[in-house]
Amino acid sequence: MLFDRVAVPVAGLLTRGAFLRAWRLMAIDGFELDVPDTPANAVAFGYPAGAREHPAFPKVRVVTIGECGSHAKVAAQAGPVGGKGASEQALARRMFGRLEEDWLLIAGRGFYNWPDWQAAAATGAALLWRVKADLRLPVLGLLADGSYLSLVAKPTLHDKARAKLIAAARAGERLDPAQALRVRVIEYEIPDRDGDGELIALITTITDPAAASAQELAEAYCQRWEEETGNDQLKTCLRGPGAVLRPRARTWPARRSTATCSPTTPSPR
């Protein structure tokens, strides 16, 4: 309750990387934390699956929405690492009611699915999410900045119904938001990744290039890493100061003293 009352965006207009035009840049991301190995925590959160040996600690999965420019967390949900409703998507959808209309919410490709995009878009917040390469994105019209108009649709639609929606969108007709939503697609390649390069496909609710160009949105997506950096910093701080390592007692000459060795705080990965 205290977190919900005090956790708010703190960046000002001069904060670097905090805004794209009128939108406040926000990002969503998840991470995992060790919790004390108690019977209650083991029941509530569980242990990570797939390890060769029994893990030493139960883990809690946390998904946060944070401000890119300041790393301030403004919403968070925590849950177990396994079982029904334990995915990052499931935790994320609990926070969509927290979105505000002047936010541009940035998300990695693991967060996209039709119901969640539909729910997040209905809040009025602007969205900029990466999608997986196998998502079907028909070209409705090419735009001068290199992006193109498309639509995302309910995945259970038959091909004939989908084709009808695409034809209606190309004709400028109104779409039933329960069936499909118009989006704008920005694609670019990172040539030095994965050998032959990696294609990045972003979809956004900002369909007018005059409101934000493809270049601006591609640069804004890079700010998503600030949320991951903030989460890494959070995990580092929550580890605590650790133990001070001291050598066993020895007899030294009078001119020498017993040394102590304090572990340094790990740098964010």
DSSP state of 199: E
| pLDDT recorded at residue 267 | 36
Domains by residue range for the chain, with CATH? 2-238 (3.90.350)
Determine the Cα–Cα distance for residues 227 and 64; give it in Å rounded to an integer.
8
* Residue 263 tokens, joined: 């572990």
The CA-based angle 154-157-161, given to 5 degrees, is 115
Q: How many residues does the chain have?
A: 269
Instruction: Pick the range with the lowest mean pLDDT from 73-77, 86-90, 167-171, 247-251.
Output: 247-251
Helix, strand, or coil here: 108? coil
Residue 221 CA, chain-centre distance (Å), reads 10
| Pairing state between β 103-107 and 126-130 | parallel
**Average pLDDT of span 216-240:** 80
Does the pLDDT of residue 208 top 50, yes or no? yes
In 3D, which of 116, 57, 123 has the Cα closest to residue 91?
A: 116
Nearest to 217 by CA among 74, 100, 105, 96: 105
Token pair, residue 45, equals: 């959160």
Strands (E), the chain: 19-20, 23-34, 59-67, 73-80, 103-107, 126-130, 141-142, 148-153, 180-190, 198-204
In this model, does residue 269 exceed pLDDT 60?
no
For the chain, give the percent of residues with pLDDT over 70: 85
Count of alpha carbons within 13 Å of 135, Cβ hemisphere only? 25
What pLDDT does residue 115 have? 95
Confidence of residue 225 (pLDDT cuts 50, 70, 90): confident
Using one digit for the tens of pLDDT, what is the confidence trace for 22-62?
A: 999 999 999 988 888 899 998 888 888 766 677 788 889 99
Number of Cβ within a 10 Å radius of residue 242 = 11
- The token pair that represents 38 in the structure block: 């108690």
What's the angle, vertex CA 230, arms to CA 227 and CA 236, rounded to 5?
145
- Measured CA to CA, the distance from residue 146 to residue 186 in angstroms comes to 7
pLDDT above 60 for 254: no
Percent pLDDT > 90 in the chain is 58
Tell whether the model's pLDDT for residue 216 goes beyond 50.
yes
pLDDT value of position 240 = 58
Mean pLDDT in residue range 262-267: 33
Residue 249 pLDDT class (50, 70, 90 cuts): very low
What's the confidence (pLDDT) of residue 224? 85
Q: How confident is the model at residue 250 (pLDDT cuts 50, 70, 90)?
A: very low
